[in-house]
Chains A and B, each alone.
Chain A
Amino acid sequence: QKEVEQDPGPLSVPEGAIVSLNCTYSNSAFQYFMWYRQYSRKGPELLMYTYSSGNKEDGRFTAQVDKSSKYISLFIRDSQPSDSATYLCAMSANTGGFKTIFGAGTRLFVKA
């Protein structure tokens, strides 16, 4: 079993839809949870950063962490064609040298 599981998609939605992206994980030591957006042929860009459980909102993006279920989500409201990218979840524990584990990434297409 991988430490972090993420459905690679692709996920295709119409413009304006609410997008839900998810990851599950197995290591209960993870405390830091991130979402990165990666456009084709570019480096990942940090979107959201959450410590421990709870919700965090930034504009159209909301990140949720449920440590009891080992499940994290990223919601995108009013999705735009410019949101089309690959979204990577990532997480780390504050032990062992801060090694970050990445999900496989979900490819999202928002159709105009």
Chain B
Amino acid sequence: GAVVSQHPSRVICKSGTSVKIECRSLDFQATTMFWYRQFPKQSLMLMATSNEGSKATYEQGVEKDKFLINHASLTLSTLTVTSAHPEDSSFYICSGRGLAGDQETQYFGPGTRLLVL
């Protein structure tokens, strides 16, 4: 299967600071990338969808000015949590949609655990 990496895997920050999470598709070109957040024992909640070179499309209830998404290339997308607060603490997972072999589907990164103190 295709490989998606995320960095960092874990981050602890102070309230009010900004945190950037990188997502890279390593062996395929992700025409579309998705950002999810997941709370403990809950399913994935889609935050936003981004296509390379275009503005991200945010899901209802997700503040676009707080969660800045940049999809500068077919292999890199970044999520910046601006002015983070404790309620932003969560598990953030990116996913790349692309053609890997003969299948076009979504492949997930390992996730980034964010803790805001």
Binding site for B on A (CB under 8 A): 8, 32, 34, 36, 41-46, 49, 88, 90, 97-100, 102-105, 107
User: How far, in angstroms, from A94 to B93 measured CA to CA in the complex?
Assistant: 23
Beta-carbon contact of A98 and B108 below 8 Å? no
- Closest partner residue, chain A, to B32 (CB atom): A98
Looking at A44, A102, A107, the one whose CB has the most chain B CB atoms below 10 A away is: A44
Beta-carbon contact of B1 and A46 below 8 Å? yes
A44-B108, A98-B97, A99-B49 are known contacts. Are A49 and B103 too (CB-CB below 8 A)?
A: yes
Within 8 A of A (CB), among B35-53: 41-44, 46, 49
User: How far, in angstroms, from A90 to B36 measured CA to CA in the complex?
Assistant: 14
Task: For residue B28, give the distance in angstroms from its CB to the closest CB of chain A.
Answer: 13
A99 partner residues in chain B, CB cutoff 8 A: 46, 49
Binding site for A on B (CB under 8 A): 1, 4, 6, 32, 34, 41-44, 46, 49, 57, 91, 93, 97, 103, 105-111, 113
User: How far, in angstroms, from A100 to B110 measured CA to CA in the complex?
Assistant: 18
- Closest partner residue, chain B, to A101 (CB atom): B46
The B interface is mostly helix, strand or loop, or mixed, namely strand
13 A-B contact pairs sorted by A residue (CB < 8 Å): A32-B105, A41-B111, A43-B108, A43-B111, A44-B108, A88-B44, A97-B49, A97-B57, A99-B49, A100-B46, A102-B43, A104-B42, A105-B43
B91 partner residues in chain A, CB cutoff 8 A: 41
User: How far, in angstroms, from A90 to B42 measured CA to CA in the complex?
Assistant: 14
A32 partner residues in chain B, CB cutoff 8 A: 105
Beta-carbon contact of A46 and B111 below 8 Å? no
A43-B108, A49-B105 are known contacts. Are A88 and B1 too (CB-CB below 8 A)?
A: no
- Closest partner residue, chain B, to A90 (CB atom): B106
User: How far, in angstroms, from A41 to B113 measured CA to CA in the complex?
Assistant: 8
Beta-carbon contact of A43 and B6 below 8 Å? yes
B111 partner residues in chain A, CB cutoff 8 A: 41-43
Beta-carbon contact of B97 and A44 below 8 Å? no
Looking at A34, A99, A100, A107, the one whose CB has the most chain B CB atoms below 10 A away is: A100
